[in-house]
Amino acid sequence: MSGPLSDFAACVGFYTRLPVAVLGTPSEDFARAQWAAPLAGAAVGVIGGSALLVAAWAGLPPLVCALLAVAATMLVTGALHEDGLADTADGLGGGATRERKLEIMRDSRIGTYGVAALVFSILLRVAALAALAPVPAIAALIAAHMAGRAMIPHFLGSLPPARDDGLSANVGAIGERTAAIALAIGAAALLLLLGPMTTLVAATLLAAWFVFLKALAQRQLGGHTGDICGALEQGGEILVLLAVAAAFH
């Protein structure tokens, strides 16, 4: 199998722990398949939203519903991006040189900066979801996961790898068309699920976060890593949820 479905299978297989056998054989050209990264995010958001909906239907308090929703997204992704956020915080916060930062980021152990980043990431997402009624919370969750992953292909294409080996270096060159399609899908998701005004706010925040993290990665590491991409997704996810909470609370 080749084409869009195989690209989607490749992204689902990488970004989640969902079985992709029902979709067929994943594409072997992972760089080309990255246009489907936000679609894999949609699958994660739907699963998290379903957990929230079931919890709300069972009469659980909003805070518990939000906690279960975030837990479901972390379970289905294997906390892939949370791990990247923690490693990024430890590396950039604890290393004095480029080499030391990259060494820390590759270390499987977690430090104080990583713990703090994870705690705030989870708390901010849970708090934002708990402030919303179930329907806008589900819409926000899906949009956040799609938009957070929609930025990754462009990020990979706009910076060189920080090291010759590693996850992000092995992806290969991301074409401009691939990155543009991913961004377009993410923007469409924001617009359809959140409306024009909230989309404008969310898109502005996402653009600022992208520019900031890109400059930070370039200055401190000399390029991108898989962990930096995880931090990019986490920050994007948080910003979208906060934008929705501010608009609808």
Q: What is the pLDDT of residues 26-53, one digit of tens each?
A: 777 888 899 999 999 999 999 999 999 9
Q: What is the mean pLDDT of the chain?
A: 93
Q: Per-residue b/e over 65-88, b at no fewer than 16 CB within 10 Å?
A: bbbbbbebbbebbeebbbbbbbbb
Kindly tell me if the per-residue pLDDT of 104 is higher than 70: yes
CB-CB contact of 26 with 13 (8 Å): yes
- What's the pLDDT score for residue 108? 86
CB-CB contact of 213 with 175 (8 Å): no
Domain with 124 in it? 4-248
Identify the residue with better confidence: 182 or 32: 182
Identify the residue with better confidence: 95 or 27: 95
- What's the pLDDT score for residue 164? 78
Summarize pLDDT for 132-171 with one digit per residue, the tens.
999 999 999 999 999 999 999 999 999 999 987 766 556 7
Q: What is the pTM of this model?
A: 0.94
Q: How many domains does the chain have?
A: 1
Half-sphere exposure of 206 (CA within 13 A, CB side): 30
- What's the pLDDT score for residue 4? 85
* Sequence-separated (6 or more) residues with CB below 8 Å from residue 90: 104, 105, 107, 110, 111, 112, 113, 114
- What's the pLDDT score for residue 169? 58
Q: Which range among 93-97, 102-106, 115-119, 199-203 shows the weakest confidence by mean pLDDT?
A: 93-97
CB-CB contact of 42 with 189 (8 Å): yes
Average pLDDT over residues 168-181: 81
Kindly tell me if the per-residue pLDDT of 24 is higher than 70: no
Closest CA relative to residue 241, chosen from 121, 117, 156, 152: 121
- What's the pLDDT score for residue 1? 45
Q: Which pLDDT band, with edges at 50, 70 and 90, does 71 fall under?
A: very high
CA distance 102 to 84: 12
Summarize pLDDT for 236-247 with one digit per residue, the tens.
999 999 999 999
Q: Which pLDDT band, with edges at 50, 70 and 90, does 63 fall under?
A: very high
Kindly tell me if the per-residue pLDDT of 88 is higher than 60: yes
Average pLDDT over residues 203-226: 96
Identify the residue with better confidence: 38 or 107: 38
Q: Which pLDDT band, with edges at 50, 70 and 90, does 178 fall under?
A: very high
CB-CB contact of 182 with 241 (8 Å): no
